[in-house]
A and B are shown apart, each in its own frame.
Chain A
């Protein structure tokens, strides 16, 4: 993202796929040229060795002559039978009498390479290049120059192979590489474009999905998932803001009214009562606010739950002991049916306490006197927590809705409560990967929470 990084990369190729393609084609070309060069060199060595052998062999056949006359006879035959294009043959006697199909060849006791010009002048019947050696023989010098035509031809063949084979294949791979690189670039650009749209606030932006499951496809998938999560988090945040605006305005208004009344009344007794009411209101505002924040935090994944192995039997025992006296006050009975074995789940102790507190408080609040509330645990696999009451229950079509924030049944409008209790339970269950079910206890409400195994 830094500007300097962008400007300094000016002369270099900025697209990674394109750069990689270029490098690949370069390395490929070098390797090919190296290979061809090596095989050309080896083939050339072999052919040159053959040519030398031919010269040596010819010399030997002439050395075998029994007399000067036999030699000259053999030599003349050989010279007549050998085309200049294949081999130049000369024997120069000490008195300067030349024989053979060429004259004036240079002397060279070791093998040497010579061009046509130096040997024969511009002769159309001669080859372009020769391998030459001279050796003393019969009072003179024998000079043999074998045409290097096969080697020249080899070079030409290799050049042709390079031209016809290598260059087109390099061109083809470069073109294909660039095409693939451009396609990769398009896909990368699509991801980059999506990210920058998200950055500008368009959380609905998504990378067009390809069916391919390659690295870019996976990155695109991850970007889209991130988009989904971000939208969910934003929606939840927006929902919280709306809820807060909606649900906190009324109690704040009431506090405002109470403060005005405190200012107006002269009696200290009235003032004290008004202050107490204002304090109760602010207490309620704080609780609602805190619950909303906590739900948002759990749902938004911001809470780091203290995941530890906890025994639900212990938690249920604590919470029932806290609330059983409250239930007795309203002439309800709260009973605990613990599991016979430890009901161990991985969870956040305090959050699980709150789940039970909210469920029990709900039951106490919404059930008439004489109702029975039971908290039961089953430590089998999976661990199941049930809170059931014999109260009015929740109509089936309302059960989904009561899990929403601030949703309250029509008949509960007048009772105490924020409408956040079950939302917190739902959020906490979600965090623990537990399954929450609101069912019918015939009569009454039966809340079942199945913890993951």
Chain B
């Protein structure tokens, strides 16, 4: 995957770039908005990681220019202020996702992965599978090894999301946003509790656990 990091703080820029390089991606780094705009227009990137506050041309203006030129590259906006109205402003300007500073690299990496292979709703299958687990999105039925598993609506939504984004890490905040439409960080570890409930029903009675915890970043249902 080819990434462009537009961030004026050298330490943060390197932190992001090094992280993605370690994951095996190719990363270009620029420090100003003007360079960023040129680079994003000329190079063909899979994802642009864009800081909102940049000297010269700021992130929102850059994004609007880029979108105005019909450039559809996926963009994640990084920002020091991440209250709801700022987030909406960013999304309206054409950002695909929005992440508040400070963030852990795991969070950014998971969100980038979610962007790149974000499947179209229409070509998604109605039946999702992982090993011996089958989730039918139409009849809202879940079975594992032929056994019917009774799930509460939110547990179903949680499992469905993990299956739809199979193989990719889902962070706590991503799950909160997708399942509950909550865009702030609760003090209590509510996601852990919900995952542990889900595990009790989906994993505990069976030999092989499906839901994997990645320390410090999130959860994943792995393919094999």
Contact = CB atoms under 8 A, between A and B. Distances in A.
A318 B83 CA distance: 20
A287 B84 contact: no
Interface size bracket, A side: 20 to 34
Given A325-B190, A348-B84, A282 B102 contact: yes
A357 B184 contact: yes
Nearest to B189: A326
B190 A350 contact: no
A326 B197 CA distance: 10
Given A287-B187, A294-B83, A297-B83, A353 B182 contact: yes
Contacts of B180: 318, 321-322
B185 interface: yes
Given A318-B180, A325-B197, A357-B184, A306 B84 contact: yes
25 contacts: A279-B104, A279-B216, A282-B102, A294-B83, A297-B83, A304-B85, A305-B85, A306-B84, A306-B85, A306-B88, A322-B186, A325-B190, A325-B197, A326-B189, A326-B190, A350-B182, A350-B183, A351-B84, A353-B182, A357-B184, A361-B186, A365-B188, A416-B187, A417-B187, A418-B187
Contacts of A322: 180, 182, 186, 190, 194
A361 B193 contact: no
Given A306-B85, A306-B88, A350-B182, 8 more contacts: A287-B187, A321-B154, A323-B190, A326-B190, A329-B193, A357-B184, A361-B188, A417-B187
B207 interface: no
Nearest 10 interchain pairs by C-beta: A350-B84, A325-B193, A304-B85, A326-B193, A322-B190, A326-B188, A326-B190, A321-B154, A357-B186, A350-B183
Interface string A206-223: 000000000000000000
B181 interface: yes
Contacts of B182: 318, 322, 350, 353, 357
Nearest to B102: A286
Interface in B72-89: 81-85, 88
Contact of B181 (A304, A318, A354): A318
Interface of A: 279, 282, 286-287, 290, 293-294, 297, 303-306, 318, 321-323, 325-326, 329, 348, 350-351, 353-354, 357, 361, 364-365, 416-418, 421
Contacts of A351: 84
A325 B83 contact: no
Contacts of B197: 325
Nearest to A325: B193
A50 B213 CA distance: 121
Interface in B136-191: 154, 180-190
A350 to B, nearest CB: 4
A305 B85 CA distance: 7
A287 B185 contact: yes
A83 B185 CA distance: 116
A304 B186 CA distance: 22
B149 to A, nearest CB: 17
Interface in B58-94: 81-85, 88
A361 B184 CA distance: 14
Contacts of A421: 187
Nearest to A420: B187
Contacts of B81: 293
A287 to B, nearest CB: 6
Interface string B182-211: 111111111001100100000000000000
Contacts of A306: 84-85, 88
Contact of B194 (A325, A348, A353): A325
A119 B100 CA distance: 109
